[in-house]
Amino acid sequence: MPLNKQKGNMYYLELKGIISSIDNKPLFYRWVEYQGKEKERNLFEIAIYDLMGGVTILKMPIKEFGANRKECMFMKDYFNSEIVKNNEPEIFNSTWSETYAKTHKNNGEILCH
């Protein structure tokens, strides 16, 4: 049975720095979604069996959402739109302002998902 049909798949977000090929420094950060069944964990990382049958190591910071994909996707948009609004104003209005509006109340608090 494929992993995505097995009971027990969980959803995770991991904060990743997108690295420049020129100077090997993060250009920007984004929360990236992962789905899989947990293999093992320690204080600093979680190993999951990914949907391709391999093992993916997620390093802190990690957000866990259990089996709730809808909440995971909502929070990914919420967190990423916050990052862009606060750190990348040159692209916020062109690409992220609509996502921010869908996930935030007028006072910046989280909308119910």
Q: Per the structure block, which two tokens stand in for 79?
A: 């967190």
Residue 58: φ, ψ to 5°? -100, 130
Angle, vertex CA 42, rays to CA 38 and CA 48, nearest 5:
20
d(CA 72, CA 89): 25
pLDDT in tens, the chain (113 residues): 344 444 678 999 999 998 877 887 778 899 999 999 999 999 999 999 998 889 999 999 999 999 999 999 999 999 999 999 999 888 898 889 999 998 988 766 777 65
